[in-house]
Amino acid sequence: MTEEIDFILESTEESMNGSIAHLEKEFLNIRAGKASPAMLGGVFVDYYGAATPLSQVSKISVPDARTITLQPFEKNMLQTIEKAILIANIGFNPMNNGDVIIISVPPLTEERRRDLAKQAKSEAEDAKIGIRNVRKDANTDIKKLEKEGTSEDICKSAEEEVQNLTNTFIKKIDELLAAKEAEIMKV
């Protein structure tokens, strides 16, 4: 019967790792003042009738902390890329010099930094809710096994292990949030 419990614990840890990975991905989308190619991750370009990620139609580079440059693979895509960035409404004003598109990343205002910190807190709270839901599902599965005849001691220790996993992952979320907030608030 312990094989089932091992399986429950493994799948619980895997799901919790998935919540952390999702949180890290969401944190990448929250800009913290310095330029990053990830800022353009949600921009899609109309490439011959298909919505294509910007990274697949141009080379994105960051020459310094305040500038992003885009070198299209095809020159005739310059205006299309420029329009896609404006349509994405991410607060950037692209400049086209005929060869590349240059985006100057404006510095964040104090109010905008606070808003981004709130957004980061919200994402972290969503991740914590996800972790707690995984814990609830695991405990439900363990209770089912107990009703099917698995010993009470084994089930209790499995529930404790699930709680330990939950505490570990919640702590990791708090650490990620603290690091992101520090990054956002740093001028």
Does residue 1 surpass a pLDDT of 60? no
- Give the other-Cβ count within 10 Å of 175's Cβ: 10
Q: What is the mean pLDDT of the chain?
A: 88
Give the integer Cα–Cα distance in Å for 48 and 65: 33
Give the integer Cα–Cα distance in Å for 55 and 44: 9
Give the integer Cα–Cα distance in Å for 157 and 114: 42
pLDDT band at 33 (very low <50, low <70, confident <90, very high): low
pLDDT score recorded for residue 110: 86
Does residue 102 surpass a pLDDT of 80? yes
Q: Which of 166, 118, 148, 144 lies closest to 15, judged by CA?
A: 166
* Token pair 């298909």 in the structure block, residue: 50
Give the distance, in angstroms, between the CA of residue 18 and the centroid of all CA atoms in the same chain: 11
pLDDT band at 125 (very low <50, low <70, confident <90, very high): very high
Does residue 42 surpass a pLDDT of 70? yes
pTM above the 0.75 mark? no
Does residue 168 surpass a pLDDT of 60? yes
Residue 44 in contact with residue 51, Cβ under 8 Å? yes
